[in-house]
Amino acid sequence: MSGPHPATAAARRAVRDTLNQADIGAGSRLLLAVSGGSDSMALAAAALFVSRHDGLLIDTITVDHGLRPESVDEARAVAAQLENMGVSRAHVARVNGADAAATAGPEGTARAARYAAIAHQAQEGTAAVLLGHTADDQAETVLLGLARGSGARSIRGMLPIGPLPEYPGIRALRPLLGMRRADLRAGLTSAGIAWWDDPTNEPTSPWRAKDGTQLRRSAVRSHALRALEEDLGSGVVKNLARTAQLLQADDEALTSWATREREGLGREPDIKKLRGLPAAVRTRILRALALEAGARAGELVGWHIDHLDELVTGPGGARSIDLPGVRAVQSGGRITFEGLGLDRSRNDENGKGRDGRD
């Protein structure tokens, strides 16, 4: 009797290895986010195989964004298929996709709603959430980060073991980050496991960005990555994913360095001491201080950190800059943070912050 397809066997090993690295053992309950697409169905099949041998409990959640009339029936069909595969509890959650489609950033809004539903389902007793992101997804994330001019924190991509986005108290595992989507589909086909291709991910989908253009990740998936593979070879996706992995190690080292330095600087760091640190360490300290002071993490982006760093490296004197949720002030040779209050509204109406920038 022949064994499983090589991709199926590799997915099982990847799940087991990730669970071992996360120190998750027998008796633990896991929540799998399963859209019904090939990536998440391959993860479900691999996780269920491991669970039967290692004594784990598997629940799933399928999020229906309500973007198409038939999506609710498809989500229920996914849940039924998962129960037939051996899932103990297959949940379906519906979120308002119409709200996402009406915003300036439908992809981000849908993503936030999806993670909120997952976090709500991951009640106490859930050891971790498993997500079916692949090397293809990682390559897309790296390219999107590069296009935004982001630093290592963005280009490093998704972590194999880390917090669920926006929910630091919930662990998220991504065992399939080293595997290609095409290989996983070959394994599913060999095992006779069906999956759903969501038409909202296609270039021709009516779900568009606010300006009417194709959704960014969909554009990268359908055009940019294919063009790169044609010009640079089929290894480009795995190489981009490898780049993310290398940057994760670099970012971890720099963040550790910044954490040690920050302990000695206090909440109102001395500018001279900050100037003596490498920029990569200094900006991590400043970002951490801003977040600790109440800056909104989802809105604090690279150019905010650049301007914040200018308060340290620029001329002396009382200067400040408004960040999402807080104001950073340079005064008396130190950097401090304060709430914006009503001043933010007045500054926004005038079109500039207290430092005079448009």
User: Which CATH number belongs to the domain containing residue 299 in this structure?
Assistant: 3.30.465.60
Based on the domain organization, do 159 and 278 belong to the same domain?
Answer: no
Specify the higher pLDDT residue, 110 or 334.
334
The predicted structure's pLDDT at residue 181: 95
Strand order in the sheet with 89-94: 89-94, 57-64, 29-33, 126-130, 167-173, 161-164
DSSP 270: B
Based on the domain organization, do 222 and 275 belong to the same domain?
Answer: no
| Size of the chain, expressed as the number of residues it contains | 358
Please provide the DSSP assignment of 85-123 as one string: HT-SEEEEEE--HHHHHTSS-HHHHHHHHHHHHHHHHS-
Based on the domain organization, do 182 and 315 belong to the same domain?
Answer: no
Based on the domain organization, do 282 and 229 belong to the same domain?
Answer: no
CB 63 within 8 A of CB 35: yes
Residue range of the domain that includes 181: 6-236
Scan for tokens 């590799």, then name that residue: 10
Based on the domain organization, do 206 and 319 belong to the same domain?
Answer: no
> 75-84, 132-141, 205-214: lowest mean pLDDT where?
205-214
- C-alpha closest to that of 121 among 16, 24, 29, 19: 29
Does residue 257 fall inside a structural domain?
A: no
Based on the domain organization, do 163 and 277 belong to the same domain?
Answer: no
Q: How many CB atoms lie within 10 A of CB 191?
A: 14
Mean pLDDT over 324-345 rounds to: 79
The predicted structure's pLDDT at residue 184: 98
Radius of gyration of the chain (CA): 23
Claim: this prediction has a pTM higher than 0.95: no
Residue 218 pLDDT class (50, 70, 90 cuts): confident
Does residue 117 fall inside a structural domain?
A: yes
Say which amino acid occupies 250: D
Based on the domain organization, do 59 and 200 belong to the same domain?
Answer: yes
Based on the domain organization, do 62 and 180 belong to the same domain?
Answer: yes
Based on the domain organization, do 202 and 343 belong to the same domain?
Answer: no
Beta strands at 57-64 and 161-164: parallel, antiparallel or unpaired = unpaired
Based on the domain organization, do 229 and 343 belong to the same domain?
Answer: no
Does residue 242 fall inside a structural domain?
A: no
- C-alpha closest to that of 132 among 187, 71, 173: 173
CA distances from 47 to 33, 189, 240 (A): 12, 17, 26
Does residue 244 fall inside a structural domain?
A: no
Does residue 261 fall inside a structural domain?
A: no
CB 323 within 8 A of CB 329: no
Structure token pair of residue 293: 């002071």
Q: How many CB atoms lie within 10 A of CB 264?
A: 9
Residue 352 pLDDT class (50, 70, 90 cuts): very low
Does residue 1 fall inside a structural domain?
A: no
d(CA 96, CA 94): 7
pLDDT digits (tens, 9 = 90+) for 18-38: 999 999 999 999 999 999 999
The predicted structure's pLDDT at residue 147: 81
Mean pLDDT over 148-162 rounds to: 84
List Cβ<8 Å contacts ≥24 apart for 193-199: 193/41, 193/42, 193/45, 193/85, 194/41, 194/81, 195/36, 195/37, 195/38, 195/41, 196/35, 196/36, 196/37, 196/74, 196/77, 196/78, 197/37, 197/38, 198/35, 198/36, 198/37, 199/68
Mean pLDDT over 112-136 rounds to: 93
Residue 249 predicted with pLDDT over 50: yes
Does residue 106 fall inside a structural domain?
A: yes
The predicted structure's pLDDT at residue 210: 60
Based on the domain organization, do 102 and 198 belong to the same domain?
Answer: yes
Specify the higher pLDDT residue, 211 or 78.
78
pLDDT digits (tens, 9 = 90+) for 309-328: 999 998 876 789 999 999 99
Does residue 259 fall inside a structural domain?
A: no
Residue 145 pLDDT class (50, 70, 90 cuts): confident
The predicted structure's pLDDT at residue 106: 64
Scan for tokens 């290609």, then name that residue: 180
Residue 276 pLDDT class (50, 70, 90 cuts): very high
Mean pLDDT over 100-124 rounds to: 77
Based on the domain organization, do 181 and 225 belong to the same domain?
Answer: yes
The predicted structure's pLDDT at residue 152: 76
The predicted structure's pLDDT at residue 219: 78
Indicate the SS3 state at residue 241: helix
The predicted structure's pLDDT at residue 323: 93
User: Which CATH number belongs to the domain containing residue 183 in this structure?
Assistant: 3.40.50.620
Number of domains present in the structure of the chain:
2
